[in-house]
Structure 1
Amino acid sequence: MEHNFDRSNERMATAIQLVSTSADAREQLKAEYHKRSDAAFAPETLRNFRQITAMFCSWCREKGYDAAPPVDPKAVAAYVDYLGGKVRSTAIGVRLWAISEMHRAQFQPSTCNHRLVELAVKAVKRKYGAAVRLAPPLGKKEMIETIQKLGSSRLELRDKAVLWVATDSGCRASKIVAFKVKDLVRQDDGSSLLYVSRSKTDPYGEGAYSFLSEAGTEAVLRWIETAGLESSDPIITKSQPNSQIRHMDPATISRILKRCTGRSEVSAHSTRVGGVQDAFRLRCDLSSIMVAGRWSSPEMPDRYGRRIMASQSTSAQVSAAFSKSR
């Protein structure tokens, strides 16, 4: 007879088993967990986890709570209250994940699932809202106009390559700086595909492709030739002639976009948002948008395109139809 796997019961059984084992055996198991989690999680995820747990432990000491797992659910609920209005609800969710992972590392049941904590999260969302702040969009029209204003200096040739990759591929900054020359796959019509070996939604490297237009391909190839890049070199590099060829910091993409567009409020994610909104304006179907952005769920493209979809809703169409008949 088959039984459904219950992760909570499994963790509880493990915790009970730990209580009955020797102190040395418990420490060995915890050390094994830390070693395997270091290999399983991305370096950025581990950095965030350590930073968040350090802040939580510091807050607990300041407020007189014991931060050792299992943490009192009243303490976690109070921490959620403290975060309310200071950080977005999505950030609170990330912090609760880190606290839960802190419990898992000790093979303790997470108190973040306690009803007191759930109610605290609901109360914070009700009081401060749960809206996600989107990056200001940078659509294709504005990006092309920006590119056309650039000249032919070495810096501007590099910037053109950056802007085309950003607006055509819709990739995150971390992926834009990760592309290598060998990831550029030419197509017969003059366009190209950029091979995405890994991404936020593909941590195990199944692989995907992003589109690069004919104009974008020409700009990237010209930069590759100007910079003398080889197959294993990153496409996006520093523009100085004698600089070391290496992957750039993802934050640089935002700085380039700000400088080229003259808009201090935009970021590397702006082209991703703008691309989705352009697609909705052209009435592209959601599945195609998800493929282009390599999303595994419709949640984010739906969020990015919510304003555009409202202007294309049945209410808007009915209003337009009756306005014409007046």
Structure 2
Amino acid sequence: MKAMFNREEERLEVLAQLARAPIPTRAALIEEYRRRSEGAFAPRTLECYHNIVRSFSAWCDERGYSSKPPISPSVVAEYVDWLGGQIRSTTIATRLWAIAEMHRANFEASPCRHRLVELALKSVKRKYGAAVRQAPALSKKEVWAAIERQGDSRADLRNKALLWILTDSWCRASEVVAFKVKDLLRQEDGSSLLYVTRSKTDPYGEGAYAFLSAEGTRASLKWIREAGLRRDDPIITKSQVGGLRTPLNPATVTRIIKRCIGRDDVSAHSMRVGGVQDAFRIGCDLSSIMVAGRWSSPEMPARYARRILASQSASAQVSRAFEQERASEL
């Protein structure tokens, strides 16, 4: 009988062969991996990777451990123990990804898949919890109120366009700052579609569309005319007269939102969360919500709407029906 293919055994065999390769050959492969990774990963991903490697290396140096691959699974497990309670478990997972990538870049087996490391992470989650912090929700009603408080200055016109795009499209800040004038596609009813060329979940640029209401379209067009933006200019740019027509930084978008809303705990993601909650509240089905937010799985929108869904659950409906029945009998 033919033996079944085992991808893990094949991977380990390749690593063993590389370990036996001459030093110049191995060094050339490591350099090629570094060069290719710069084109394969987003700049922010590479920045995150290098920051984690520096932090982990400093931690190893302080304790007398070598920070050069291969690193013992026991050392990585100790690192996970040390991180527990200081940062969220999802952030610990990101750090483990970077350590694993550091080993892949050197063609070494990753210690992060070792059972000791898995158990360390499970222990941290059990002790400190694995809840994911969620951005506070901003409902459409709250955003409308903020838009109505804006005046007619150049900055106010830009901010109105920004708020409308965020609350209508449910786009991330990184997606909003990437929109160009040519990505605003008008529709017959006065609304528009925004073409999302690339996103966090679409790194290869397959493209998607987001909705912009008629009011949002009018606000965006008014800002575009006021700023004299051209087809290839970013929609959300600096508001100063004569300022560079370059995209705003996502962090700047968050600061504008905080100032317009009047709260320090909100961000661009708050409108994405609020949009999902509004949609569940008025009875939209999950599939249409996933299309609006461009999600490929229901996990994230369901997480955003946990409080709303609890109020719409079967137990809540039974309770309300029972209350109505009792009230009719009285």
Per the normalisation by structure 2, the TM-score is 0.96
CA deviation after TM superposition for structure 1 residue 324, in Å: 1.6
1:202 corresponding residue in structure 2: 202
Distance 1:29 1:204 in 2: 25
Cα distance change of structure 1 residues 29 and 147 upon mapping to structure 2, 3 Å threshold = same
Distance 1:289 1:176 in 2: 19
Distance 2:161 2:47 in 1: 31
AA matched with 1:299: E
Secondary structure of 2:108's aligned partner: coil
AA matched with 1:144: W
Distance 1:4 1:267 in 2: 48
CA deviation after TM superposition for structure 1 residue 296, in Å: 1.6
2:124 corresponding residue in structure 1: 124
Distance 1:5 1:206 in 2: 32
Q: Identity over aligned residues, as a percent?
A: 62
Contact between 1:11 and 1:107, CA under 8 Å: does it hold in 2? Answer: no
Secondary structure of 2:119's aligned partner: helix
2:106 corresponding residue in structure 1: 106
Secondary structure of 2:179's aligned partner: coil
Secondary structure of 1:209's aligned partner: strand
Distance 1:277 1:9 in 2: 46
Is 1:298 the counterpart of 2:295? The answer is no
AA matched with 1:106: N
Q: CA RMSD in A?
A: 1.2
CA deviation after TM superposition for structure 1 residue 2, in Å: 9.4
Cα distance change of structure 1 residues 5 and 246 upon mapping to structure 2, 3 Å threshold = farther
List, as ranges, runs of 4+ consecutive aligned residues in structure 1 with deviation greater than 3 Å.
1-5
Distance 2:121 2:18 in 1: 31
Is 1:44 the counterpart of 2:44? The answer is yes
Is 1:170 the counterpart of 2:178? The answer is no
Distance 2:24 2:165 in 1: 53
Distance 1:251 1:204 in 2: 23
1:251 corresponding residue in structure 2: 251
Contact between 1:164 and 1:219, CA under 8 Å: does it hold in 2? Answer: yes
1:141 corresponding residue in structure 2: 141
Distance 1:315 1:220 in 2: 44
Gaps of 5+ in 2: none
AA matched with 1:95: R
Contact between 1:11 and 1:108, CA under 8 Å: does it hold in 2? Answer: no
1:24 corresponding residue in structure 2: 24
Distance 2:230 2:276 in 1: 33
CA deviation after TM superposition for structure 1 residue 262, in Å: 0.5
Gaps of 5+ in 1: none
Contact between 1:84 and 1:124, CA under 8 Å: does it hold in 2? Answer: yes
AA matched with 2:14: T
Contact between 1:139 and 1:278, CA under 8 Å: does it hold in 2? Answer: yes
Distance 1:221 1:5 in 2: 57
AA matched with 2:16: I
CA deviation after TM superposition for structure 1 residue 322, in Å: 1.3
CA deviation after TM superposition for structure 1 residue 25, in Å: 0.4
Contact between 1:169 and 1:211, CA under 8 Å: does it hold in 2? Answer: yes
Which one is further off, 226-235 or 310-319?
A: 310-319
Cα distance change of structure 1 residues 185 and 255 upon mapping to structure 2, 3 Å threshold = same
Q: How many positions carry a matched residue from both structures? A: 325
Map residues 226-241 of structure 1 onto 2, 5 A cutoff. 226-241=226-241
CA deviation after TM superposition for structure 1 residue 325, in Å: 2.1
Cα distance change of structure 1 residues 295 and 5 upon mapping to structure 2, 3 Å threshold = farther
CA deviation after TM superposition for structure 1 residue 3, in Å: 5.5
Per the normalisation by structure 1, the TM-score is 0.97
Distance 1:69 1:293 in 2: 40
2:191 corresponding residue in structure 1: 191
2:242 corresponding residue in structure 1: 242
Distance 1:278 1:124 in 2: 35
Distance 1:156 1:72 in 2: 56
1:181 corresponding residue in structure 2: 181
Distance 1:4 1:206 in 2: 33
